[in-house]
Every structure is written in C-alpha cells, then in structure tokens.
Amino acid sequence: MIIYLIGMMGAGKSTFGKQLATYLNFPFVDLDEAIVQHEGKTIAQLFETLGENGFRLIEQKVLQIESNTTTNKIIATGGGTPCFFDNMAYMNTTGCTLFLNIAAAEIANRLCKANNQHRPLLKDKSKEEIQEFITQKLAERISFYEEAQVEIMDPTMDLGLLKGVIL
C-alpha cells in the first residue's frame, strides 16, 4: 500500500511521515528530496529555471515514478502536489491519501521559526507576508486537500488508531 501525505507546507508531512513509516515498517519518501535527487538541482533552482509550471511537470513525473517502485511506501508530497494536473485523482486511485489539516496560523508560526530560503514560495517574505500567503494558499488548495480519503487534525495521535483506518 502507498500512503500519500498531503497538506500545506509546514503541516508536518515529513515529520509525521517518518514516524508513520517507522511504525508501519514502510520505506519513507519525501517527494521534494526525490525530485532533487532525480533532477540534480534544488527545488529553488528548478523553480528559477523552469518556473512553477515546469517544476510541477517534474513533480508529477517523480510522483508517478516513486509510486510505482514498491507496494508499501509512505510519500510526503509537496504542498502544491495535489493541486496540479490530475495528481489528487492519481493518488486516490493508487493509494491512500491522508490530509494533515493544520490551522493556517499554526503553519505560519512554524514557518516563521524556520529558515525558508529553500522554499521558493516563501523566500524573503516577512512574518506578516508568510501569514497572508499561507492563508491565501490554503483557501486556494483546500478543495483539493479535502478530496483525501482520511483527514488528520492531530498528527500527534496514536498511530495504532490510524493503522486501523488506513490498512
């Protein structure tokens, strides 16, 4: 089974994904890291040279490559992955999608504490601009995220409870 984690940047997909992968004894893939490895360039470099649309085409290709390599895997997607092309339908068809539904204010707080130079969409933004950006992006993306098969509002939940829902 492939389990796709979706949600906004800063929602904790990678952190939660690693915990879930350890619990289930599944391999873990961070889609952004897989893209960097596959392309030999950072996400920021890909955005700069190809623009967002070019990056999203590569993202779709790597998502499909990663989801076809093994039967059991946790894949933490990028925040925008479900919102482009047919990625959400693809993920719902090929695995189980989990939406980490974290409040915009909490995500903004997390991101303001982090170094965001590797996040092209946040680079050089002030705290207020990050809050505004997250609120706006979440409003744009929520309809895609809500197509997930499972919604998680508390990523600190007992993983044993989640296992019964997804497996």
Q: What's the average model confidence in pLDDT over 80-101?
A: 97
CA 125 – CA 41 distance, rounded (Å) = 23
Q: What is the mean pLDDT of the chain?
A: 91
Q: What's the average model confidence in pLDDT over 24-36?
A: 96
Q: What is residue 116's predicted lDDT score, i.e. its pLDDT?
A: 66
Coil, strand or helix at 6: strand
Q: Where are the domains of the chain?
A: 2-162
Q: What is residue 167's predicted lDDT score, i.e. its pLDDT?
A: 66
Q: What's the average model confidence in pLDDT over 38-50?
A: 94
Amino acid at 36: V
CA 15 – CA 37 distance, rounded (Å) = 19
- The residues, any chain, with a CB within 8 Å of residue 165's CB and separated by 6 or more, are 150
User: The pTM is what?
Assistant: 0.91
Q: Write the pLDDT tens digit of every residue in 99-154.
A: 999 999 999 888 888 766 667 778 778 888 988 999 999 999 999 999 999 999 87
| pLDDT more than 90, % of the chain | 72
Q: What's the average model confidence in pLDDT over 15-43?
A: 95
From edge to edge, which strands make up the β-sheet containing 28-30?
A: 28-30, 73-76, 2-6, 96-100, 150-152
- The residues, any chain, with a CB within 8 Å of residue 34's CB and separated by 6 or more, are 62, 65, 66
CA 108 – CA 101 distance, rounded (Å) = 13
Q: Is the pLDDT of residue 158 over 80?
A: no
Q: Is the pLDDT of residue 10 over 80?
A: yes
Residue 98 DSSP class: E
Coil, strand or helix at 78: coil
- The residues, any chain, with a CB within 8 Å of residue 94's CB and separated by 6 or more, are 2, 67
Q: Which residue has the higher pLDDT, 125 or 14?
A: 14
- Asked if CATH classification 3.40.50.300 holds for the domain at 2-162, the reply, yes or no, is yes
CB 153 within 8 A of CB 101: yes
Q: What's the average model confidence in pLDDT over 49-65?
A: 96
Residue 91 DSSP class: H
CB 159 within 8 A of CB 19: yes
R_g of the chain computed on alpha carbons = 15
Q: What's the average model confidence in pLDDT over 83-95?
A: 97
Coil, strand or helix at 140: helix
